[in-house]
Chains A and B, each alone.
Chain A
Amino acid sequence: KQEVTQIPAALSVPEGENLVLNCSFTDSAIYNLQWFRQDPGKGLTSLLLIQSSQREQTSGRLNASLDKSSGRSTLYIAASQPGDSATYLCAVPISDNTDKLIFGTGTRLQVFP
């Protein structure tokens, strides 16, 4: 059974730091991995989706990498800003049904000025 874990559960950093968020999954046979951001009381915003054939994806200051063999993905945030404060979640599909996602419980990030 696929399980998704995100460590740490919470992270507090000063503005300007580069940081890495981790996502681990137990079954390496994934079709893709998606990173989301959730602001308090709001829905999820899709940040990056990495297909199984890809090693990384970049969008602005965000870079997500995928290592299927080790069951890990990392989300790298460069030059963090207070506006980056949110909860970051990763999700993978259940086997070959890409409609059914398994979510991690998220990392709550606070960037202080």
Chain B
Amino acid sequence: DGGITQSPKYLFRKEGQNVTLSCEQNLNHDAMYWYRQDPGQGLRLIYYSQIVNDFQKGDIAEGYSVSREKKESFPLTVTSAQKNPTAFYLCASRIYRGGGAQPQHFGDGTRLSIL
């Protein structure tokens, strides 16, 4: 089945450590996105990529980094510079097609906690 796979489902980070969250899609979607979800705050955009080897900052990019070397993959690294990384991280993708915007499709998320 086509879909978006995020791994791991749960991740723990030690102080000063970088961690990488995986996001893979086999939908042949063009764009990919990373969101952070905190209780009571809704989703906030971290980074997005419209095409391979290119990406743009979202609203809360500080302390995060991404790469888009393949169309199917958009990993997110939470660096030690991100002082409050505990959150639920969601990856999404969508296809570009004429006739209006297409919906974003989401993975099942990664919950990151600090040890």
Main secondary structure of the interface of A (DSSP, over half): strand
Count of residues in A whose CB is under 8 Å from the partner chain: 24
Query: A101-B45, A103-B43, A105-B41 given as contacts; is B106 within 8 A of A45 (CB)?
Result: yes
Main secondary structure of the interface of B (DSSP, over half): strand
Q: How far is the CA of A31 from the CA of B2 in the complex (A)?
A: 27
Q: How far is the CA of A46 from the CA of B100 in the complex (A)?
A: 16
Q: How far is the CA of A104 from the CA of B42 in the complex (A)?
A: 6
Count of residues in B whose CB is under 8 Å from the partner chain: 28
- Nearest CB in chain B: distance from A18 CB, A: 25
Q: Is the CB of B101 within 8 A of A98?
A: yes
Q: Is the CB of A43 within 8 A of B101?
A: no
Q: How far is the CA of A26 from the CA of B87 in the complex (A)?
A: 27
Q: Which of B37-84 contact A (CB under 8 A)?
A: 40-45, 48, 50, 56, 58-59
Question: Interface residues, chain B, CB within 8 Å of chain A?
Answer: 4, 6, 31, 33, 40-45, 48, 50, 56, 58-59, 90, 92, 100-109, 111
Instruction: Enumerate 18 A-B pairs (CB-CB under 8 Å) in ascending A order.
Output: A4-B42, A31-B101, A34-B103, A36-B106, A41-B111, A42-B108, A42-B109, A43-B106, A43-B108, A44-B43, A45-B106, A46-B103, A49-B103, A89-B42, A99-B33, A99-B56, A101-B104, A105-B42
